Chains A and B, each alone.
Chain A
Amino acid sequence: MIEMFQEWYENRHEYAKDWKDKTGGKVLGYFCTYIPEEICLAADILPVRILGSHEPQDVTEPHIFAMYCPFCRDCLAQGLEGKFDYLDGIMIAQSCLHIRQAYTSWDLHVPVDWSYYLPMPNHVQSPRAVPYMVGELKAFKEAIEKWTGKEITDDDLMRGIDIMNRNRQLMKQVYELRKREEPPLNGLESMYMVVSSQMIDKEEHSRVVEGTLKELDNRTLGQPVGTRLMVLGSENDDHEFIDMVESCGSTFVIDDHCTGTRYFWDEVSPDGDPLTAIANRYVNRVPCPSKDWPVRTRVPHILSLAEDWDASGAVILQQKFCDPHELDIPAIKNALEEQGLTTLFLELDVTVPVGQFKTRVEAFLEILQEDDLF
């Protein structure tokens, strides 16, 4: 069953088109994981995350200045090249500036029926953030109702919350298994699981995760675990890279990035008013660095992940030109090293020089393996 996730990831467009045909529902493309999917699900919309294709392209230069990250340009290229022409709408929840341009240029140049900019607050550490967010979610809910022509009741919202929470709980269970001395799945397989959940009907995804959990109970990787690694970064669905690292005598056991734990880590606590509960979840979730201030809450979180999953090294991936992560990396690196982890820093583009990176990864693993001996 575990192969399903990779299949979904590789055939995301076909899946979405099939879903549309079968259900007659609306597909909403989104650019950032801060969007309130619970509300979309309450409206029976399929939210699909817009990701790049890791191929060089030549269509975004007139639209986005090359100093912005390759990822946001890769995302826009998918739109300009018509890969997502089945989308009924697009939306973004405000976080970083770079991906924002993928959204605004898409809005200007790729025909789509509906588009929405949700001003998700950045001062998530302020008590004013939740009330503000609730107001914005109300406005968003109304906009969706207008678009779909259908009212969203509190029951619908609760249903959306339940579906999202269920998927999050299941993914957390999967990740718990990676704490084992012999994790039953590796980083690449986990990556496919999380990233596919961002493109697939959540209930369908949850069913397959449930089935997979049963399989995982007695599963082993079939090769030595090697060095236990953590991967940190922004958005990373670089399967070629993850695969390469895990072929060098290591296994990724945990991560903090937004096609990883940051996506599903926190659930909605369904107390009281559903919109307030949803607002609380998004304001208080593990943050993107652009929202992690003035206190760096990511640091203790990352340290505890590293400890709980017993990682001895961390691969810090940074999308080229990504300012928010660049601002956090020195602090994170120092904190990890103080806790005794060795770190490897790598800068990513949409394609990566796997050969060159392999040399560095091998050297990094050598250091770690020597540490193990002493």
Chain B
Amino acid sequence: MITTGVDVGARNVKVVIQEDGKVRGKALVLAGLDTEAAIEEALDAAFKDAGLARDEIEKTFATGAGRKEVAGADDSYTEVGADAAGAIHLYPDARTVIDVGAEEGRAIRVDERGKVVDFAINERCAAGAGAFTEAMARALELPLEELGPLSLTSTKAIPMNAQCAVFAESEVVSLIHAKTEKRDIARAVHDAMATRITSMARRVGVVPEVALIGGVARNPGFVDSLQRDLELEVLIPEDPEYVSALGAALLAAGIGK
């Protein structure tokens, strides 16, 4: 069965087309202010990527904060359900799924059937999402994609307040003025974020295997800090930001329910 999953996130729209559990095509488009247009654009790009025509799709499920804006979706799932479905499909042994996106971080516990048992979402006073690293990259005057690799070259851990993103930004400014090396500040930023995410994940209980998904999984600095905090290695899929959309597509096909 060929199905489409549309994940309308806070920042980006992701589309995944799957057939019998395998990805046929995918696309990512900045959501911007005109979400509907972005959704259309993403769908078109995904169909093109898959080499399929719109009418070959049997079902479309939507997910993400803006899921209600997907006109013509047959049904919708919340990000929690879609994350779980997608992650378990890729890693059947995963019992904890951590999703760190642009605006929100989530931790989900699943049982052997892949069923959601508990979930936690990062609360206010939280430096637990991609927007935090973006702000810190700006403060350090670095392109975002350099922040992670730079932090890996650090050998020094500097504790940074991880409850309040505003406080943390203050501390970065202080560190810059104190002429701290950028690599060490970069590491501190990732450590702070990892502390926040770990703290949240501990609410639901961290049970291996742990799958890490969402755009921030591409940040090697964050991954390193997180693995140190959790004291285990996390499983990261090839296209971490597409897992939710994949989950929605799988649910549409009746896989992963």
Contact = CB atoms under 8 A, between A and B. Distances in A.
Interface in B189-212: 192, 195-196, 198-200, 202-203
B164 A58 contact: no
A349 B167 contact: yes
A58 B196 contact: yes
Interface string B132-175: 00000000000000000000000000011111100100110111
Given A349-B167, A350-B161, A351-B159, A56 B195 contact: yes
Interface centre among B170, B175, B192, B229 (most CB of A within 10 A): B170
A58 B228 CA distance: 12
A272 interface: no
B170 A66 contact: no
Contacts of B167: 349, 353
A67 to B, nearest CB: 9
Nearest to B196: A58
Nearest to A70: B163
A7 B125 CA distance: 35
A140 to B, nearest CB: 35
A148 B44 CA distance: 77
A276 B192 CA distance: 50
A127 interface: no
Contacts of A349: 161, 163-164, 167
Contacts of B203: 61-62
A351 B164 contact: no
Contacts of A353: 161, 167, 170-171, 173-174
Q: Could you tell me the dominant secondary structure of chain B's interface residues? A: helix
Contacts of A62: 202-203
Contact of B178 (A56, A60, A355): A355
B174 A58 contact: no
Contacts of B170: 353, 355-356
Contacts of B162: 56, 58
A41 B150 CA distance: 54
Nearest to A354: B174
B123 interface: yes
B192 A56 contact: yes
Interface in A337-355: 349-351, 353-355
A57 interface: yes
A3 interface: no
Interface in A12-64: 55-62
Nearest to A60: B199
Interface residues of B, number: 25
Contacts of A350: 161
A205 B164 CA distance: 38
B195 A58 contact: yes
Contact of A59 (B163, B196, B199): B199
Nearest to B177: A355
A64 to B, nearest CB: 11
Contacts of B195: 56-58
Contact of A351 (B125, B161, B173, B229): B161
B200 A61 contact: yes
Given A61-B199, A61-B202, A66-B125, A55 B174 contact: no
A313 B130 CA distance: 42
B174 A355 contact: yes
A66 to B, nearest CB: 6
B161 A56 contact: yes
Contact of B171 (A55, A61, A66, A351): A351
A58 B199 contact: yes
A356 B164 CA distance: 15
A353 B167 CA distance: 7
A356 B198 CA distance: 27
B160 A351 contact: yes
Nearest to B169: A353
B188 to A, nearest CB: 10
The listed residue with most B CB atoms (<10 A of its CB), out of A56, A354, A356, is A56
Interface of A: 55-62, 66, 70, 349-351, 353-356
22 contacts: A56-B161, A56-B195, A58-B196, A58-B198, A59-B199, A59-B202, A60-B199, A61-B202, A62-B202, A66-B123, A66-B125, A66-B163, A349-B161, A349-B167, A351-B159, A351-B160, A351-B161, A353-B161, A354-B174, A355-B170, A355-B174, A356-B170
Interface of B: 123, 125, 159-164, 167, 170-171, 173-175, 177-178, 192, 195-196, 198-200, 202-203, 229
